[in-house]
């Protein structure tokens, strides 16, 4: 049990580190679980989703002031009401696709070979995006057009393929639709809240039968580590992306994906 707790803590660290970076937290967790031999009874896939609660609470704690102002403002101002509607519109495609394709995603797409290939492909996309000289039209995530929110939400659905990256899909699509790097990354944070909360609630409902006392302890450990590390990442990521772009994360993806393919080919 001690060994499993240490593995859960490390996986929580990986979740918190990668959830809001464009590197795919799910992909990293699946590969790490395979290396550690964690959750081979099927619990591993559920664990990977449930510890996202720590990352959700981390972003809520960082954005609580802004969220409160938006909530209060919605009672008297059209701008906050429109933004809340925009987030709901962006969330809807993933909610529908996730509910309809839940079994297919978990049983077919949660595959280490798929993860490695999509990590490398996503890295190539980020390197390409970093070379484009965008002319941003929007610098405030709360003022995107409603149609733009919907388009970002549709692109987010690609992140249901492990290795694609939810944050990567939303940030890149927002930039192509006219957002600057900072507002694109910030909207990915806002959209993460309902998306991750919905995935957490749905997966908990579908897999409640797997939650033994030991598994609850492992989830709690992973949750706490995810919370602390994700808090640090959220506080620093926007400034880093605004100044440096995506090349670090692109090469990170390519290296991890390549190592993963070599390990799989060797029978790991």
Express each pLDDT in 17-46 by its tens digit: 988 889 988 889 888 888 888 766 667 767
Q: Match 């100044």 to its residue by tokens.
A: 243
Average pLDDT over residues 98-112: 83
- Give 145 or 52, the one with higher predicted confidence: 145
Predicted pLDDT at 35: 85
Burial 2-26 (b: 16+ CB within 10 A, else e): eebeebbbbbbbbbbbbbbbbbbbb
Average pLDDT over residues 221-249: 86
How many Å apart are CA 26 and CA 19, to the nearest integer? 8
**In whole numbers, what is the pLDDT of the chain averaged over residues?**
87
- pLDDT, one tens digit per residue, over 172-198 is 999 999 999 889 989 998 998 888 888
3-class secondary structure for 71-106? Answer: HHHCCCCHHHHHHHHHHHHHHHHHHHHHHHCHHHHH
Predicted pLDDT at 26: 84
Average pLDDT over residues 136-160: 93
Share of the chain above pLDDT 70, in %: 94
Domain ranges of the chain: 2-265
How many Å apart are CA 210 and CA 41, to the nearest integer? 10
Predicted pLDDT at 40: 63
For the chain, first and last CA: distance in Å? Answer: 23
């Amino acid at each position: 049990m001690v060994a499993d707790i240490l593995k859960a803590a490390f996986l929580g660290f990986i979740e918190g580190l990668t959830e809001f970076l464009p590197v795919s937290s799910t992909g990293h967790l699946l590969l790490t679980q395979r290396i550690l031999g964690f959750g081979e009874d099927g619990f591993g896939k559920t664990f990977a989703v449930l510890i996202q609660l720590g990352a959700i609470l981390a972003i809520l704690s960082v954005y609580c002031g802004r969220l409160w102002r938006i909530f209060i403002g919605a009672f008297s101002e059209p701008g906050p009401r429109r933004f809340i509607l925009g987030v709901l519109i962006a969330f809807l495609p993933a909610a529908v696709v996730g509910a309809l394709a839940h079994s297919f995603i978990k049983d077919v797409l949660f595959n280490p070979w798929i993860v490695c290939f999509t990590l490398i492909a996503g890295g190539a996309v980020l390197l390409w995006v970093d070379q484009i000289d965008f002319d941003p039209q929007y610098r405030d995530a709360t003022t995107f057009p409603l149609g733009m929110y919907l388009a970002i939400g549709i692109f987010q659905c690609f992140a249901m393929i492990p290795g694609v990256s939810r944050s990567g899909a939303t940030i890149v699509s927002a930039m192509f639709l006219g957002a600057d790097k900072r507002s694109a990354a910030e909207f990915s944070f806002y959209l993460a809240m309902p998306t991750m909360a919905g995935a957490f609630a749905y997966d908990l409902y579908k897999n409640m039968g797997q939650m033994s006392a030991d598994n609850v302890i492992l989830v709690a450990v992973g949750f706490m580590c995810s919370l602390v590390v994700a808090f640090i990442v959220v506080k620093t990521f926007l400034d880093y992306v605004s100044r440096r772009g995506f090349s670090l994360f692109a090469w990170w993806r390519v290296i991890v994906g390549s190592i993963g393919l070599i390990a799989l080919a060797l029978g790991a």
